[in-house]
Amino acid sequence: MGSFKYIRDNERLMFKDKAAKRALLLNAEKGSILERVERPTRLTRAKMLGFKAKEGYIIVRARVAKGSFRRPRPVHARRPSKTGLYFNLAVSKQKIAENRAQKTYKNMDVLGSYFLVENGQYKWFEVVMHDWAIK
C-alpha cells in the first residue's frame, strides 16, 4: 500500500472538512463547463482509473446540470393529454460528462471519471483522458 494509503486518508478528511469542500466548490464554480486542470483533485481515484503524470494524460473537469431532462411544452393548437415534461434519461450524469469531454477532445480516449463536488444546481466530475498517439 505505501504512501497511497495516507494520500487516500487525507482525501477523505478533505471531503469531510466543510471549509476545504467549500473552497473546492468555489474553485469549480469559477470555471467553465469543460475545463482542463493541471493535476487531479483526487489522486488515488485518478490512479485507479489509469492516470499517469506524464505526457499524453490529461484531466478535464466537467460540469453537468442536475435535475431531469425537460422537454418543451407544446405551444400549438391542441395540447395532448399525455404531454410529459420531465423525463429521467437512461444515461447517468457521469456518462454525460464523459461524452462532453470526448466531444471536445476528439483525439483523446476516456479512461474513466469520478465524482468531485456538487451544489444545488450542478455536479462536477473529473474525466481522465489519454492520447494513444503519444507513447
State pLDDT tens for residues 78-116: 777 767 677 777 889 999 999 999 999 999 999 999 999
By CB atoms closer than 10 A (0-12, 13-18, 19+), residue 79 is exposed
Fold of 3-67+84-130: Ribosomal protein L15e (3.40.1120)
**Res 26 pLDDT > 80:** yes
Helices 18-30 and 3-16 meet at what angle, rounded to 10? 80
Q: State the pLDDT confidence band at 67, using cuts at 50, 70 and 90.
A: confident
Residues in the chain: 135
* Residue 67 zone, left/alpha/beta (φ > 0; ψ -120 to 50; rest): left
Dihedral (CA of 37, 66, 95, 72) sign: negative
Question: What average pLDDT score do residues 58-67 get?
Answer: 94
| pLDDT of 102 | 96
Give the residue from 16, 105, 70 showing the smallest Cα distance to 113: 105
pTM: 0.83
Query: Which percentage of the chain shows pLDDT scores above 90?
Result: 57
By CB atoms closer than 10 A (0-12, 13-18, 19+), residue 83 is exposed
**Res 1 pLDDT > 70:** no
Q: State the pLDDT confidence band at 122, using cuts at 50, 70 and 90.
A: very high
Q: State the pLDDT confidence band at 61, using cuts at 50, 70 and 90.
A: very high
| pLDDT of 55 | 94
Count CA within 13 A, CB hemisphere, residue 94: 11
Rounded to a whole number of angstroms, the distance between the first and last alpha carbons of the chain is: 28
